[in-house]
Amino acid sequence: MRIVFAGTPAVTLPALEALRRSDHEILAVVTRPDAPSGRGRRLVRSPAGAWADEHGIEVLTPARPREPEFLERLRSLAPDCVPVVAYGALVPPAALEIPKHGWINLHFSLLPAWRGAAPVQHAVLHGDEVTGASVFQLEAGLDTGPVFGTLTDEIRPTDTSGDLLDRLAESGAGLLVAVLDAIEAGTARAEAQPADGVSLAPKITVEDAQVRWTDPAFAVDRRIRACTPAPGAWTTFREERVKLGPVVPVPDGPPLEPGDLLVERRRVLAGTATTPVALGEVRAAGKKPMPATDWARGVRVETGESFT
């Protein structure tokens, strides 16, 4: 099929590569506009846009996909289908109607679970043991369209959202190509999502990523893994914000009040509502991530000091 791909972050790249190696022809890539990045606030192409530039493929960057100029260009390209992975903007009905086979979305959950912008993060945060990916027909509702196919993956006890998303992006790319192949062959069959089991996964904010030391150890562990690598779990020490990497619950650790720090020779413990957790990496403002023991030695953590 002649396709136009829509996607933005790095997680789209496995799908783009799989489609490039398939029999489908990528006419253009639709992605979010270049955004300022770094200390110089230089405008930077999205990973999907940069990939398209590298392969000599047209890049479309509408501020909103309802813009007349974008809709006209999409009509002129006349794609058979628009596969979508993490595009990052709502697609209006006027754009959905242009391709013969519509827009086909690869979503990183087992729909109807975790509809929305952050399905992987919410699956980790809520302690799901199994998740997956779904390929479905995009429609006006939020991730409500009929599903062509799914795959499942176990959420491991140490998985961060980044770990899990990397695996699902790779396996989901194959599923997306298989669905497009079936659509072209006329053998694809989509099934309506069940009415039961619906849950929502809104974007995880920086405020959501603040560690709550009054939570039990298992919940502290989940929140930090869910927010890794983005937006990054954080807490405050001496009234300054520090980011934390994944921690390890220590069920047999010494009793500590929530947030209290205990520096030992080979580990740094922080108290929770239940048992302590051993810190992994700590990143102070303006610094690179470092092992917690190095951070504790550098700032000279004193007895009785706490995260807040």
Helix (H, G, I), strand (E, B) or coil at 175: helix
CB 227 within 8 A of CB 121: yes
CB atoms within 10 A of CB 160: 21
Establish whether 74 is an annotated binding residue. no
Measuring CA to CA, which residue among 257, 262, 261 is closest to residue 272? 257
CB 155 within 8 A of CB 119: no
Quote the DSSP letter at residue 11.
Answer: G
3-state helix, strand and coil shares in percent for the chain, rounded to the nearest 5: 25, 25, 45
Give the pair of three-digit tokens for residue 120.
């992987």
Strand-pair category, 82-85 with 103-107: parallel
CB atoms within 10 A of CB 207: 8
CB 207 within 8 A of CB 233: no
CB atoms within 10 A of CB 298: 12
Establish whether 111 is an annotated binding residue. yes
Q: Residue 269 pairs with which residues in a beta bridge?
A: 262, 278
Establish whether 76 is an annotated binding residue. no
Establish whether 77 is an annotated binding residue. no
Radius of gyration of the chain (CA): 22
Give the pair of three-digit tokens for residue 169.
């992006």
CA–CA distance from 200 to each of 108, 123, 144, 148 (Å)? 13, 10, 11, 20
Binding site residues for (6S)-5,6,7,8-tetrahydrofolate, as ranges?
A: 109-112
Binding site residues, as ranges?
A: 109-112
